[in-house]
Every structure is written in structure tokens, then in C-alpha cells.
């Protein structure tokens, strides 16, 4: 018991020190000219980390991650208001919900259409499915050779736990207003009619995804469809398939953005998705707790609440 207390205390101390350092440093710095979070910049950095969703992903400590679609849209609009010359979107996300991913994509497309702001997407470890959906809105996509991307597709999943409940003697009674009100119930098997309804929903969302990528990337649908069956690509493979434009890291992507936007000298960057101290603490505690027992089950429960997903 005493050892457990020591470990917990050490974890809390590490999180406090790391959060304080991150907050005082203004978040990740990729510019050669360091500026304050409120300073004037000509490049807006947007970090899309984690599952893209309209849900505010919080921890018990109050942290909010940088993959909430409303927060990202707010950051994009603020960047437009500040009249930056470019937006660098750094993505490390396995995907997210269909609506949230499309919302961020649409806001970036609106920015490109209504302003002279250039947008470059930099792909990190993973930028798959909904993460790639967001990236496809950029003027230029740059991936690391080993980045995992693609996974163009839509999925709905549910679990049938009725056999387990039968074994332990638990019965579920459902009172519903219509035949399909409990269409994704985990307490019974899905009927053939329900499967057909769900399949039409998936395919309609998939067609929207496909059309957006085809238009943004200027890839004819007949060429895109063979690549859009849910398969994943490395960054190098994606470049060969014309899903990304070039290979390089975030620094290379920043230089590419500076070239496209006509920025002379070193670009100055402001992180429009940086967190305050309280949020940094919450995020660090959340990250530390992800490996604890029960965290994976909690994630599955969360995904059950978000049935229509663009994820790897």
C-alpha cells in the first residue's frame, strides 16, 4: 500500500512539472522565432490529436483535448480574423466521427475559398480515416515516410451481449415508440432490415467522404475508389497513390507553407490549439491514466455512443 502511494505521488509530481513546463513554454515550438501565445504571427498552428469528435473529451481533472471539432473550428476562425498568411495543420489522429471530421474539413475549405490563407497538413504517426478527411482540405499534404494514413471509409459497430446476460440471469425490457428505435441495441441481434438501414447510412456517409477527397485532391472517382476500401498506407505509399503530395517532417511542412504563402524570412508561429495550465494538467493526467485497468473498456463504451465513425 505504501509503495502504491509513493508511485501515485511520483506520477502526480511528474505531471505537475511537465504541465507547468508545457504551459510556460507556450506548447510545442516549431518556429525559429519564438513568440508569446498572444503575439502576432503569420502562421497558425492547429494540432489535431486524438479522436476527432463533437464530444468534449474531458478527464476527471478538467482537461480538454485538441480534437474537439468545435474547438478546432473556433481556432480556424480566429486565425482568419487575425489575418494569418498560412495554417499548418499537424495531425496525429486515427479518425473520429463522420460529422465532426466533415465539419473541420468544411471550415478549412471555406478558409481557402474566402481568403488567401494557405493550408498545409503535416501527418504525424497516424492520420487515418477522419484524420485524412481533415488533411484532404489542405493545399498541400506532407507525410513522414512511415506515417500511417488512408483508411478511407466508414464503419458502424455494436456488440451483442445477450448471451452473456442470459448466463448471469439478466433480462432487458425495452419500451420503444417505433420498430427501429433501438436499432443498435447491444442486448439483441441485429435484424436483416436493420442491417439494410445501417448499410445505407454507412454508404451515404462514405459517398460524402469519397466525394470530398476526390474534389479536394483532384483525383477522379474511378481512380480513388480502388484506394478507398478502408486500407491503410505508409506515407511513402500514399505519395505514390497521390493521396499525399510530398514527404517530410513538420519543419519541412512549415517551410512548404511559408513558400506557398509567400512569407519572407523565418515564419512566426502561434499555436491556436495550445492549452492553459489547467487543461495541460488534465491532459497529462488523462494520458497517464490511459494505461490503467478499465481504460480500454471506457473507450469502447464511448465509441458505442458514437456509432457512425471514420476511424482506423
Instruction: Give the pLDDT confidence score for residue 279 in this predicted structure.
Output: 46
| Rounded CA separation 95/310 (Å) | 5
Q: Which of 40, 176, 181, 225 is catalytic?
A: 181
Using DSSP's 3-state secondary structure scheme, residue 199 falls into helix
State the 10-residue block means of pLDDT for the chain, 312 residues long. 57 52 46 52 93 68 63 95 96 93 96 97 96 97 97 92 91 92 92 95 95 96 95 97 96 96 92 63 46 48 51 55
The CA distances from residue 63 to 4, 70, 279, in Å, are 24, 15, 4
* Whether 147 is catalytic: no
**Computed over its alpha carbons, how large is the radius of gyration of the chain?**
21
What whole-number distance in Å separates Cα of residue 232 and Cα of residue 173?
41
pLDDT of residue 273: 87
Catalytic residue from among 53, 66, 129, 147 = 129
pLDDT of res. 248: 97
Distance CA 107, CA 291 (A): 34
Q: What is the pLDDT of residue 5?
A: 60
Q: What is the pLDDT of residue 40?
A: 79
The reported pLDDT for the residue numbered 6 is 60
Alpha carbon distance 84, 275 (integer Å):
20
Q: Look at residue 26 in the predicted model and tell me its pLDDT.
A: 44
Give yes or no: 181 in active site: yes
Q: Going by C-beta distance under 8 Å and a sequence separation of 6 or more, which residues neighbour residue 98? A: 130, 154, 205, 208, 209, 308, 309, 310
Single out the residue of 217, 218, 212, 236 nearest to residue 148, CA to CA: 236
Amino acid at each position: 500500500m505504501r509503495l502504491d502511494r509513493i508511485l501515485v505521488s511520483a506520477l502526480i509530481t511528474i505531471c505537475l512539472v511537465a504541465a507547468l513546463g508545457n504551459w510556460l513554454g507556450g506548447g510545442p515550438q516549431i518556429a525559429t522565432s519564438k513568440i508569446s501565445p498572444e503575439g502576432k504571427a503569420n502562421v497558425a498552428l492547429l494540432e489535431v490529436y486524438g479522436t476527432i469528435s463533437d464530444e468534449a473529451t474531458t478527464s476527471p481533472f478538467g482537461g480538454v483535448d485538441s480534437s474537439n471539432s468545435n474547438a478546432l473550428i473556433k481556432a480556424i476562425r480566429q486565425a482568419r480574423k487575425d489575418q494569418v498568411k498560412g495554417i499548418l495543420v499537424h495531425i496525429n489522429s486515427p479518425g473520429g466521427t463522420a460529422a465532426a471530421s466533415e465539419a473541420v474539413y468544411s471550415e478549412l475549405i471555406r478558409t481557402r475559398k474566402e481568403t488567401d490563407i494557405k493550408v498545409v497538413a503535416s501527418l504525424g504517426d497516424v492520420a487515418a480515416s477522419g484524420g485524412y478527411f481533415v488533411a484532404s482540405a489542405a493545399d498541400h499534404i506532407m507525410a513522414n515516410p512511415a506515417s500511417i494514413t488512408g483508411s478511407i471509409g466508414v464503419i458502424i459497430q455494436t456488440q451483442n451481449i445477450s448471451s452473456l446476460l442470459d448466463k448471469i440471469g439478466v433480462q432487458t425490457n425495452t419500451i420503444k415508440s417505433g420498430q427501429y428505435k433501438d436499432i443498435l441495441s447491444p442486448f439483441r441481434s441485429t435484424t436483416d432490415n436493420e442491417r439494410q438501414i445501417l448499410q445505407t447510412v454507412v454508404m451515404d456517409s462514405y459517398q460524402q467522404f469519397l466525394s470530398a477527397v476526390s474534389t479536394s485532391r483532384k483525383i477522379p472517382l474511378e481512380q480513388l475508389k480502388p484506394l478507398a476500401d478502408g486500407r491503410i498506407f505508409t506515407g511513402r505509399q500514399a505519395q505514390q497513390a497521390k493521396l499525399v503530395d510530398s514527404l517530410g517532417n513538420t519543419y519541412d511542412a512549415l517551410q512548404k507553407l511559408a513558400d506557398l504563402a509567400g512569407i519572407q524570412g523565418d515564419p512566426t508561429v502561434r499555436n491556436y490549439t495550445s492549452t492553459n495550465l489547467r487543461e495541460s494538467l488534465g491532459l497529462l493526467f488523462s494520458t497517464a491514466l490511459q494505461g490503467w485497468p478499465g481504460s480500454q473498456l471506457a473507450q469502447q463504451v464511448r465509441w458505442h455512443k458514437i456509432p457512425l465513425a471514420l476511424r482506423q
